[in-house]
Amino acid sequence: MAKRYYWLKLKADWFSDKRIKKLRSIAGGDTHTIIYLKMMLLSLKDERKLYFEGVEDNFASEIALALDEDAENVKLTNFATILNSLFYGSENRNEYIVRLCSYPLLILDDFGMERGTEYGLEQVYNVIDSRYISKKPLIATTNLTPEQLRNPEDVPHARIYGRLLEMCVPVRFTGGDFRRITAQQKMERLKKLME
């Protein structure tokens, strides 16, 4: 079987780009730059897509494993955590958002489940827009349908969903709820222990 080669094309000034320079200037920035390049290389085989195979507990850990990198360098979070950190955290809001954008890969779990307060929507927009401007990969899991994303209820949601749809390719996953399956398995193990 012949070897198959994949090519990654970068702009000639990729390392001179101000965003890459900024990324490289922060603590651990060179590591994040390498992770970003490794993710792009990994995605070449599958039309620029990365897949969760269930080897690890979450997608971030699995990507870190595939890249042979520390899982702390791939960020998995949700907007409830982000909003709590922004509201109650000691870190400046702008610094926090810059830090979120410094991760080579940001995975937002349960997107769309955050409370729709004016403050909450503003912060969701700030994070999505900052990630949009940085042009770094973003993965968002959601129970929202593509139809709901394409036809938002109001202008604030339209601004958020429009950016999200431009940045991400919707992929539908069907099947059983893995949380229910896991709970059922735990219940079965408990029953065996109790026998």
What are the tens digits of pLDDT across the range 60-111? 777 788 877 777 666 656 566 676 666 666 667 778 777 777 777 788 877 8
Q: Do the Cβ atoms of 74 and 107 come closer than 8 Å?
A: yes
Q: What is the mean pLDDT of residues 15-23?
A: 76
For residues 22 and 37, give the distance between their C-alpha atoms in angstroms, rounded to a whole number.
16
pTM of the model: 0.54
Task: Count other Cβ atoms within 10 Å, centred on residue 61.
Answer: 15
Q: What is the mean pLDDT of residues 21-28?
A: 70
Q: Do the Cβ atoms of 47 and 84 come closer than 8 Å?
A: no
Helix residue ranges, H only, the chain: 18-25, 29-43, 59-67, 79-88, 93-102, 118-134, 146-150, 155-167, 178-194
